[in-house]
Each structure stands twice: as structure tokens, then as C-alpha cells.
Structure 1
């Protein structure tokens, strides 16, 4: 039997990271570094992203202020997209964990942007694309985006391939593969079974302790939450009873509007076109930019075909 979250410990972990002057200091550093050399400002973006993660979690798990948590989660997603604009080929960016706060925010624009962001997954190593290797995290970063976008055929093919070809190191991700197959077919019972398995002590002791979840792991289980929320987006409500699943955050209730309350965000639109650079290992970077409402979204199949030209 898994113990319930120790909210007191989790909130204590957050509270020491709260800083009322964080936004002002980061904004000052951002403009100063940007004036010195293009690209130097990225560190300020990362620091402020971490601060808003702490704030979003605190808004919900301490104050129970759902609207504030969604707005602050939106800022996390905006800053992560800004970092991607500043360095679209940054190795390791575009991880699965970067969907967590957009999913909490319920911002349609953020979710649209994230399910089209493939650039770091299209980097090659030893002649093989990162997304093709079932023993790299990029494999799973593409899977969760395909699930969010509803690209079912490719998602299922890759899920089955993973089960047959992955190493023991990634064995626990076979549960996710089972979930994706069930999601694609609309099998609610099978989806619930996979989520409940992810929530067991045997699995969560590893999956909740991944390096991405340093802030969240004391409060809830991020992987089951993300997958359950994606199922909800596609119209499937899963009956999951666990103190590690923040059910109120699963309800899809976008705010009437989201505010770019960080001053330098006004300098960049969410759907800004990526710019070519010598440091980027992916060709045709502009054509791989996520597309706004009113334009057909970039599918992975299209993105891959553009890279192979």
C-alpha cells in the first residue's frame, strides 16, 4: 500500500524556493544579458521557469487557488517556449516533462504549440535520429506529443516497437506503451489499469523520482497525471482513486484569458518563427516552427519529411 503524499514536507520544499523579488531580478538580468550578447539571456529564462513551477505548485497545493495555479503554469509554458525560440536545437529540450505545466494550465495555445515542437527530437547521433532510438528519452518525448495530437497510427506502431526493442533500463515505460495502445482504441478499462500500475509503489518509486520531477515528486505523480489528462482531452474520463492524483487539475477548464505578466514576454509571440543558426544541427528550422490557430498544425510526419529533404 502506497502512503499518501506528505504535503507538509512537499510544501516546505517549495516554500524555501519562493522569492518575492525573483521576477524583478530575472527581468533585470534578462535585459542586461541580452544587451551584452544574443543568447546569454537564456539563463534568466531557465531560472524564472523554475521559480514559476514552484509558484504554480504552491498556488494549488497550499492555497487551493485553481485560477492562480493555471495562470502561473501558463507562464511556465510560455517561458519554456521562449527558451525553445532562443535555442530551438538545445540538446535535451522538448522532454516529456515540459508538457506538465501546459496541461495544468489548460491553455489551448500552449498545448497546440507543444504538440508541434519536434526540433530537438530530430537531431541525429551516429546516423540515427534521436526519436528512433527506444533507449533514448526522446523516443518517449515524441510518444506523448503524438498522443496529445491524436496521431494514433504512428503512436501505436511505435508503442509496439518499443515493447519489443527497448532495453531493461526502460522496461517500466512499457506501461506507457500499453496506455497509448489503449488510448488509441478508446479502451477505458485498459487505460485505467495502466494508470493504476504507474501509481503502484513498485513503479512510482522509480518513475516519480526521475530527475525532471524534483519539485513535484513529494506532492503528486506527474506521469499518471499527464497521461490521464491527455485521455481527458480526447474525451475519456478515467476513474482513478489515488491521493497522488490531483483530480481537480484533471478537469478541463481554461481561464477566460492568460496574461503574459513577465515584461520581456511581450517581446516574443508564442508562435514566433524559429531562426536558423550555425549551432543548430537540424536543417530548415523555420519550417519546423509550431503553427498558430487558423493554420493547419505541423504533424510529425510532415516535420520528418521536411528534415529528410
Structure 2
């Protein structure tokens, strides 16, 4: 039997977790903590809110099939996710760039830029040893490649992909990660056919099941291929319009078409500046605040030089 999206089976799960009273309760709790108390203590609520707005987006897509609506809800979800990192800049260590799923879905250029440059969670590693983003057998190496693809740093992306492929890429999800690095290599080389082939390889059978159900993907795992969508979107960001023929990746989501505006009817979210520098301390880095992403209209650092300036504190 073919492995296909199960919207009918997954919809009750989504609806049960998006009751208005639930969302209002979490919103009120977070707003009080964010505006009157310790933002660090309040910030975990933003992850709950981020997921709930992703749920709302998926429900709206299934019921109404309006690209504009899911982009708006995805932007709110992504902004809550970004707010979480205000006081916890290195959170989500090693869990991959699925954190940028809703940012990419929103097509909002500023929030995509922010998540592209939020590389600090990748830079871990014991002092005196090569950091994890430079070790092909670590998940942070894969994650950092995703950041490079979103930044359009294709020369370094190609070098690193060759390095990973030469080492046979061993991760907990097994050989399926080979397709990611083959995709990255094809992206760096501009080989559209190989990009499509390796994305399609992630959308079938056991490979699709394994990759759809990685940590942090519960919201969409039964109906959307997180990695299939994200890799395809990275290709579109770099100017390659792929033909992805799969129910796991809505083709309508792939063209890069930002909305004219992204309305947010939650005052403290609307007022939050995406490029507010990090405020929190880090157990892993002595200078985490130096790695706050910079507004795209301002001069950007050289990524190769920038990441070398991190001062690791973890023993």
C-alpha cells in the first residue's frame, strides 16, 4: 500500500488542539509574562502558540485551500518561534532547520532571512575539538547546510556536501540523509533534474515515513513532508522552479510570492521587532548575543568568518 497523506485521520487531532479557549488561555498567560515578568520564563509558551498557529494554518489549507491564508498564519507561527529565541538563542540544539518550516511557508523575506542567519544552535561542540557544524557525522552539519542554502551561499554549500558524501553520511535516519546532500550538491551545481530526483526520493515509502516523523514534526507529519517542502523551497529561493509531483508537497506553496502585508491581530506580537538582539545568556557560548541576525537592509557579515568568532563555553 502506498504511503500517502491522511488528512481525514489527522484533522481531528488538529481541531482538538486549536479550540479558541485554549489559544486565548495561552496567549493571555504569555502576554502577562512577556510584558510584566521574566521574558525567559514566559518564552516557552511561544512554542505552544507557534504550533497552534501552524495547526490553524493546516486546517485552513485543508478546508479552504487558500495560499494567502496559510501564509498569514505561517508568518504568525514563525514569529512566535522567533520570539522564543529572544532569551534562549541556542535552543533547539541539533534538531535541524525544521524550525524554519513556517518561515519558509510564509514567504515573508525578513523572517526567512532571520531564520537563515540563526545559526548559533549549530555551532556547539566541546572546547578544543572541531565544532559540530564542521563534522559531517553530526546533525548540526546537515542543519548548517540548510542555513547556507537559505542564505544562497552555494560555493560553501557545494564544498561541504562533497565532504559529507565522501564520508557516506551516517545519521540516525540512515541512508535517507544521503538524498539531502545529493540535493545540496545539485543545488550548488544548478542541476535541476538531480534536485527533483532527490526530493522525490524523500517522498516515498519507508524513507518518507522516517523523515516525516523526526523530532518536532508532529503537527504536519501525517499530511505534509517537512523536508520535501523545505528543500524544494530552498531551490525556489535560489531561482530554480522544480516540478515536485507528490501529494506530500503542495505545488502551490513553492513559488516565492510574498504577500503585500502580513496582518497580525495580536498587539504584543505585531509590535515585536524581528531583529531585536538576543537577550538571554547561553550555557554553550560566551558571546551568543553577538550572533543575533542582522536586518537584511544592513551590511551582512561574511558567514565563514562570522561563525569562526563564536566562543564556546561548554566543557
Normalised by the length of structure 2, the TM-score is 0.90
- Structure 1 partner of 2:288: 285
Cα deviation 1:68-92 (Å, max 9, x = unaligned) = 2101100111111111112102252
Any idea what the Cα deviations from partners look like across 1:244-303, whole Å, max 9, x if unmatched? 2211111222111112332322453100112362x4422333331111132123443132
Q: 1:132 to 1:270 in 2, by over 3 A?
A: same
Among 274, 279, 301, which residue is 1:275 paired with? 279
Question: How does 1:157-176 map onto structure 2 within 5 Å?
Answer: 157-165=159-167, 166-167=169-170, 169=172, 170-176=174-180
Match of 2:268 in 1: 264
Shift of 1:63: 2.1
Between the aligned partners of 1:87 and 1:246, the Cα distance in structure 2 is 33
In the alignment, the residues of structure 2 paired with residue 188 and residue 109 of structure 1 have an alpha-carbon distance, to the nearest angstrom, of 26
Deviation at 1:119, TM superposition (A): 1.0
Tell me if structure 1 keeps the 8 A contact 2:86–2:280. Answer: no
Q: Aligned partners of 2:19, 2:311: CA distance in 1, in Å?
A: 46
**Quick check: 17-26 or 202-211, which moved more?**
17-26
The CA deviation at 1:136 is: 2.8
For residues 100-148 of structure 1, give each alpha carbon's deviation from its aligned partner in whole angstroms, at most 9, with x where no partner exists: 1111100001111111111111222363322123333222211111011
Is 1:177 equivalent to 2:181 in the alignment?
yes
Correspondence 1:10 to 2:13: no
**Matched ranges for 1:85-164 at <5 A:** 85-92=86-93, 95-125=96-126, 127-164=129-166
SS of 1:307 mapped into structure 2: coil
Moved more, 266-275 or 73-82: 266-275
Find the residue that maps to 2:264 and give its secondary structure.
coil
Contact kept? 1:116, 1:298, Cα under 8 Å: no
Indicate if the aligned counterparts of 1:26 and 1:44 stay in contact, CA closer than 8 A: yes
Is the CA contact (8 Å cut-off) linking 2:51 and 2:219 kept in structure 1? no
CA RMSD of aligned residues (A): 2.1
Say whether the 8 Å CA contact 1:74–1:101 is kept in structure 2: yes
Alignment of 1:191-270 (within 5 A): 191-266=195-270, 268-270=272-274
CA contact (8 A) 1:71 1:259 kept: yes
Structure 2: 5+ residue stretches without partners: none
Query: Does structure 1 conserve the Cα–Cα contact (< 8 Å) formed by 2:171 and 2:177?
Result: no
Distance 1:85 1:249, change over 3 A: same
- The worse-fitting range, judged by mean Cα deviation, of 227-236 and 162-171 is 162-171
Measure, in 1, the Cα distance between the counterparts of 2:242 and 2:209.
22
Query: Is the Cα–Cα contact under 8 Å of residues 88 and 280 in structure 2 kept in the other structure?
Result: no
Q: Scaled by the length of structure 1, what TM-score is found? A: 0.92
Q: How does 1:57-68 map to 2 (within 5 A)?
A: 57-68=58-69
Q: Is the 8 A contact 2:123 2:140 kept in 1?
A: no
Pairwise CA distance, 1:188: 0.8
More deviation in 256-265 or 221-230? 256-265
User: Partners in 2 of 1:222 and 1:205 — Cα distance?
Assistant: 11
Query: Using a 3 Å threshold, how does the CA distance of structure 1 residues 266 and 192 change in structure 2: closer, same or farther?
Result: closer
